[in-house]
Copies of this chain bind each other. A is one copy, B any other.
Amino acid sequence: MNFIDKLNRRYASKMMNGTPVADEKIENILEAIRLAPTSLGLQAFEVYVIKNPQIRQQIYEQAATGQPQIPGCSHLLVFAAKKRISTEMLDEYVSLIRRTRDFSEEKLTSFRNMIGYLEKRTDEDNFAWAARQVYIALGFALAAAAVEEVDSVPIEGFKPAEVDRILALDDKNLASLCMMAIGNRDEALDYNAKLPKVRKPKDQIFTEL
C-alpha cells in the first residue's frame, strides 16, 4: 500500500477496543515526532506517552468527557509546548549543535546571536510560534501511525488547564496543546470507520500559479 493509500485508510478513530499496540509501532511513531522539523530546529516541546489506564481515566473524567478514545486507546500522547523560551534553553540548543556538528565557535556564536531575538519577543508570541511547530510533529505522528496501519485520532476537545494540572506540566514550563490517541478501532462500535472521508475537492484548496 503506498503512502497516499495509507492516508486514505486513516480516519478519526473515536471508538477503540482497548487492545495494545505493539511497542515497535509506538517507537516508530515517537521517532517520527522526534525527527519532525521545527522552526530554527529548537524542538520547544515535549510529549507525554501515557499507557497507564488510571491516568488516562483521570484525563477522560476531569478534562475530556465525551472523548471515549482516551480510555479506549492503547497509548495517549499529550503534546505540550514550552511556555517560556529561556536563555538556558537557547544555550543548551547551541551546545547540542556543537556536540553534533563540526562547526567553528564563530559560526556557533553567530547562530546564538541570531536566535537571541526569541529572548526579546513576548512569551505569548513565542508560545503561539512554538505551538504551531508542535502541530508539524502531530502531523508526522499521524502520518507515521497511518504508515504503521494503526488507528489514531488527534484531539483538541479537552480542558488544557486540567491536563496541565493532572500531569504537573506547569512545573516543567509546559502547557498542553493537543493529544493523540493511538489504538485499535472497535469494528462494531466505531461508526466513523465505515463513513466516506469528507474532504474539499482539489480546486477549493489549491491555486496553481
Show the binding face of A for B, using Cβ within 8 Å.
3-4, 7-8, 10, 12, 28, 30-37, 39, 41, 43, 45-52, 55, 96-97, 100-101, 128, 131-140, 142-144, 147, 154, 156, 167, 177-178, 195-200, 202, 204-209
Contacts and interface: CB of A to CB of B under 8 A. Distances in A.
- Assembly of this chain: how many copies? 2
B35 A8 contact: yes
Given A43-B200, A43-B205, A96-B200, A7 B140 contact: yes
Contacts of A45: 205
Contacts of A55: 209
Interface of A is mostly: helix
A144 to B, nearest CB: 6
B209 A35 contact: no
A35 B197 contact: yes
Given A96-B198, A139-B136, A28 B3 contact: yes
A195 B200 CA distance: 39
A47 B206 contact: yes
A69 to B, nearest CB: 14
Nearest to A138: B136
B43 A142 contact: no
Contacts of A49: 206-209
B205 A37 contact: no
A147 B3 contact: yes
A49 B203 CA distance: 12
A97 B37 contact: no
Contacts of A209: 48-52, 55, 167
A108 to B, nearest CB: 12
Q: What are the 7 A-B residue pairs with the smallest beta carbon separation, nearest first? A: A139-B139, A135-B135, A136-B139, A143-B143, A7-B35, A3-B147, A50-B209
B132 A37 contact: no
A37 B154 contact: yes
